[in-house]
Structure formats: structure tokens, C-alpha cells
Chains A and B, each alone.
Chain A
Amino acid sequence: MEFLASLLAPDFFAAVFRAFVPVCFAALGGLITRRAGILNMALEAMMLWSALLGVIFSGYSKVWFPDLPDVACLLIGMVAGILAGLLVSSILAFFSLKLRANNILVGIALNNMADGGSCYLMFLLLETQSNTETLTSFQFPAVNIPLIQDIPVIGPILSGHNLMFYLAVLAVILVYIFIFKTPTGLRIRAVGENPDAAESVGIKVLNIKTMAVLLSGFVTAFGGMYFSMGYMNFFSRNMTAGRGFIALAAMNLSNANPIGTFFASMLFGFCDGIGTRLSTLGAFSTDLIKAIPYAVTMLALILYAIIRARKINKIKSAR
């Protein structure tokens, strides 16, 4: 009982939202490419690099320009993180779209390269391969929303979270508007569903796909930066721990709809939060708890596939 009550505490929601943020950003990134007809396997790579480079640039800008205000260093880090995400996505776009490499293999290779490369870069700069704690770096602040924070019960739940949480929610809305309410979003959807139709009205399919991949890098970068500049203020090895793939599952479950992705990401955050709560209670081993998100993802995959198969069968039997 006590356990259930603890679920309503603001603490728990904070834990859920913490897990939600990176999954949400990465899922939105995966959603944009999925709408253009591409499966983005390199979300891990995008997040790892943006996490690391964001920390490095924000930290080093203070080291080299000690007079810069902290906020400026943070912003520099943010720009670096975004550029990192764009760089990874442009490599993905070039090799899989232009040189026609299998995008699954390229994605996996980029992920492995990011894991090894991020350790290597840490080594080059900081002579350690485990984390960047020796570098003082900056975090996005927590935000207390005036007025809302004073509402009893709900106030503490909604207010006081890291800025990036609110950015994630905003991103959901922005991506929704982009995909469904802009001409470019319309073209992306056309290219993803029927590239011949798009081609026949003069749309350059390759350009649209490339743009979708780059945009995906931009959005996913925020997910990566949350790890090292929101939740923590340092980067540690393999910080993303498979969240990129969980994000893909969340995106699939919502059938590439931003609003659905919001809820699916919340669901994974919830599983994560429950897991942490259970482990602090000592009820289950931390290790097993850590396995929960991945197991839930597999179930989600099966669920999604069953739903899709039922839908196809319904169409077939309607004849």
C-alpha cells in the first residue's frame, strides 16, 4: 500500500519524467525519419556524440574564456551538441541515401563507433575513459513555473523539473505541427508512403529524405544532451544504454504519431520509474530492474505487430 501511495508522490513523477525526456526526443527523431520512410538505427550514436560534445564545449569554453558567464558556456555547449547530432545524421544520410549502404548496418556501425569514439575522445582530452567528471560543465537548470508551482498536489508534480523536460513537451507539439501542419511535413509524409507519387508531382525525394534525416539528428541531439547536461553534469561511458532503441519501440508503438509518441515515452518512463522505486525498496535486484525497459520494449514490438497484422486482416476480410 505504502508502495502505491509513493507512486503519487512528486518524487516518483520526477523519476518518470527524467526517464521520459531522452526517450521522447529520440523517439521524435526516429519518428521524423520514419515518416520519410527510413528506419533510423543510429539514434544511440546521435545521442552519445551530442552528450559528449555538449559537455566538452560547455566545459572548455569556460576553461578558455573564464570571463564568459556560465549561461553562455552552456549555450555554446548546446550548439556543439546540436552540431554533433547533425554531423552523425549527415554521415548516415550520405552513406545510406547517396551510396546506398544498408541503413541498418550503417546505423549499427555508427553506434559502435560512437561508443568507442566517445571513450577515445575523452581519453584524448581528459586522459580518462570513464567519464568527464574532471571537467566542470554546466547543466540546464530546473524550472519552477510561477503560479503553477503553488497549486496544491498538482503543482509540485508539474513544476520544478529540468528545463529540458518542458522542451521535450514543446518538441512533441512542434513536431506534430511540423509533420501535420506544414507543407514540408506533407511532403515528408508523401515521400515516406509513396515516393513515386511524390516524384510525379516534382518533389525531389532524395532531398526530402536527407532533410528528414538531418532534422532527426537535430531533435535527437537534445535527448543526448539531456543525459550529460540536464540529468547529470558530466558524460560517462555508454551513458545512453540502449535508450535509442527503446525510443524506436516507443515510436513504433505510437505508429509514428507525435502525440502517441509522447504517451509511449511516458509509458517507458513509468516502467523505468517503477523499476527504480522497486529497487530502492529492495524488493528486487537492481540488475533485474534494469532489464525491465528492454523487456517491455520487446512486448511493445509484439503488441504493435499484432495490432498491425489485425488491421491488415480486417482490410482483407472486408472484401
Chain B
Amino acid sequence: MSSSAKIDRRFDILRTAVSIVIALIIAFILILLATDKPFDAIGGFIVGPFQNLRRFGDLVGYWIPLVFTGVSVCIMHSSGQASMIMEGAFMTGAFLGQIVCLQIMIPVLGQIAAVLTAGIVGGILAFIPAIMKYRWNANEVVSSIMLNNVLTNVILFLVNNFFKDSKQGSNQTPRLPEEMLIPKVIDNINIHYGLFIAIAVLVFGYFFLFKSKWGYAIRMCGRNMDFARYSGMAVGAVILYSQIIGGIVAGIGGATFQLGMLDRYTNTSVINYGWDGIVVAMLANYNPLSVLLSAFFIAYIKKGSDVMQSIASIPTQVSMIVQAILIILIASKLFLEGWRHRAIVKNAERELAKEGN
């Protein structure tokens, strides 16, 4: 690789690393403010998730849905569209997962039907902002966020009026019996067989986006839509199917999460995985294979903040704040640009001097 390309590559990694460090420093400051046992808290944050199998299981429990939403964002945003529908598709997927299983009380068949339904509906939901963009050039960011809000309320309505657990307070569905859930790999630990579905989705995501003609078209549209059009690609169709497939993945993720981790559906237990998917995808540089690692990192932060809450009562919002900081820093193209520019110039001078000899 040429030396200036090496510098560029090095700086991309440096920028990500510095962003992570800055985000964590701010997190630590927030922790300091919240407790008089900061080192206990920070210790719990860093080491906690690995201290016992149960905690690690929880971490994996977080990792699984983040893989789904991360891959979903990789696919959707690589085409240049900024739809946020994965949040709503995930939630709807979870809801449908629970409901379908409740209706079809047949083991195995129920779960499969649930996950499939969730995927299909997720795709349909993602289609809505996509077609609004395609037909009327309506901003997909606003329309998808609005649709997310509509879904939240509609689902709440359905839960409270048709699927309520009459023995409990509002906003909950009845429990699913164990045979209708996705079984755990190890008893009482949150590592469930959904893990394998997640890995399958990861692999699918990678091959789809990087080894198939559809994924290639998605990525070229995202890089330069004029070029894609000039080369003969049907840009409008690409926008549509990239969103639909992303929606399917998010829907499947929701159902898998619900049936693997929970036995009752409530809105509040399935929120934010979609938004988290954005950071996961950004850290992975929109490559599904790297989502393996970046989803793990975000899951780690989430579990770490859970541990901090139980040790020192620090709100779990810390992880949300860390993720937001990461997004802002990583998205800043000119972050550390001064250093990078100087490094490139110095390198160019060095190269010229070499040639002169």
C-alpha cells in the first residue's frame, strides 16, 4: 500500500480510537458526579460484565439484538438513505413475535411463524418511508421517525385493548409458556439460540452487502448516485429494496429478542435497540462482519452501565450518552483533520526527498 494510503488508514483508526477515549472520559466524569464510590462504579463498569457467567450472558443478550439492528443499518444506510425505521421495525417485530406465539400455541411452529411474520411486517414498514422518498421525494428521516411514533402508540393500543394480561396492570401481554419461547443454551443464562440466528444474519448481511450484485448496487448508489445511474443501475429500485431488506432484518431481530429474552411483551423493554444500531453500524464502518465486534462493544457498554446501576445506583443513561458522543465524533469528517493533513504533507516531503537522492 502506498505510504499516503497507509497514513489515511492509520488516521481512520486513530479517529475512532480517540473518539472512544473521549466518550469514555466524559462517561467517567459523569460517574464521578453521581457517586462517592467512583472507582467501585468504574470498576464495575469495566470488569463487571465478565465477572460471572450470568452477567456475561446478559451481555450476550444485548449483543444479539444489536447484531440485528446493526446489520439492518449497514444495509439501509449504505444506499445513502438515512431512514430510522429500524427502531419501529424492531419493536413491531418483538410485538408480533409475542402475539403470533400467543395465538399459535404450537411449539417450534409458533416460533418460526412468529419470526417470519415479524420479518415480513418489518419489511413492509420499512417500505413506507422508502416509497414516500421514491415517489414524492419526502424526507425519509422525518417520515420514518414519525412512523416509529405511530407504531409505538398503535402497539400500545393493541396491547391494552386486545392482548392485555388481565391479571396484571396495563401495558403488558400475557406470559408465554416456556415451550413457546426460544430456548436458552445454558439454563437461566441469557444466551439463547437466537444467537445462531444472529450469526446467520451477520453472515447473510456480509455476503449480501459485499458479495452479491444487489449489495454491490446498494453500495455504489451510496458512494455516488450519479455514477450508479450512469453505469446503468436502477437507482430507485435499489433505494427501495435496500430499505425493505433492512426492515426485514430489524423485524426478525425484534422477534428473536422478544422470544429469547422475555416472556411478556411491554413497549418499554424493546426500545432503543434500533437507535443503538446506528452507532453499531458506524463503528463497524458499515461492514456486517465488523458488526460482530462493534455490537459486542456497545453491548459491553450497556451491560457495564447495568452493573454500575446495581453497584452504585448510576442511571443506565450513561451508555446512551456515550453512544451519542461516539456518533457525533465519528461522524465529524474533519475531526483531527489538522493532524492528518500535517502528517500527509510531512510524508509527501519525505517522499520527494527520497526521490531526489
Contacts and interface: CB of A to CB of B under 8 A. Distances in A.
B195 interface: no
Contacts of A98: 334
Contact of A129 (B278, B315, B328): B315
A120 B29 CA distance: 12
A41 interface: yes
Contact of A105 (B150, B157, B331): B331
A223 B30 CA distance: 28
Contacts of A241: 149
A119 B272 CA distance: 15
A295 B150 contact: yes
Contacts of B320: 112-113, 115-117
A110 B328 contact: yes
Interface string A107-145: 011101101110110011000010000000000000000
Contacts of A304: 138
Interface stretch (A78-86, A167-175, A182-190, A284-292): A284-292
A93 B303 CA distance: 33
Interface stretch (B139-147, B225-233, B341-349): B139-147
Interface residues of A, number: 48
Given A41-B141, A105-B278, A309-B136, A99 B146 contact: no
Contacts of B157: 285, 287-288, 291
A298 interface: yes
A116 B324 contact: yes
Nearest to A115: B320
A111 B157 CA distance: 26
A288 B34 contact: no
A99 B143 contact: no
Contacts of A120: 30, 34, 315, 317-318, 321
A91 B26 CA distance: 15
Interface string A284-310: 010110110011011001101110110
Given A116-B317, A287-B153, A291-B153, A109 B142 contact: no
A112 B153 CA distance: 19
A308 B137 CA distance: 9
A298 B324 CA distance: 26
Contacts of A246: 146
Contacts, number: 144
B328 A285 contact: no
A117 B146 contact: no
Contact of A298 (B150, B152, B318): B150
Given A112-B324, A124-B34, A294 B149 contact: yes
A177 interface: no
A301 B331 contact: no
Contacts of A109: 323-325, 327-328, 331
A105 to B, nearest CB: 5
A27 interface: no
A317 interface: no
Contacts of B321: 113, 116-117, 120
B84 interface: yes
B317 A294 contact: no
Nearest to B132: A302
Most buried by A among B154, B318, B333: B154
B325 to A, nearest CB: 7
Contact of A248 (B82, B142, B324): B142
Interface of B: 30, 33-34, 82, 84, 132, 136-139, 141-143, 145-147, 149-150, 152-154, 156-157, 160-161, 275, 278, 282, 315, 317-318, 320-321, 323-325, 327-328, 331-335, 337
5 contacts: A100-B332, A120-B318, A301-B146, A302-B138, A309-B136
Q: Which 4 A-B pairs have the closest CB atoms?
A: A116-B320, A305-B136, A113-B324, A116-B317
Given A242-B145, A290-B153, 5 more contacts: A100-B332, A105-B282, A113-B321, A116-B318, A245-B146
Interface of A: 39, 41, 91, 95, 98-102, 104-106, 108-110, 112-113, 115-117, 119-120, 123-124, 129, 241-242, 245-246, 248-249, 252, 285, 287-288, 290-291, 294-295, 297-298, 301-302, 304-306, 308-309
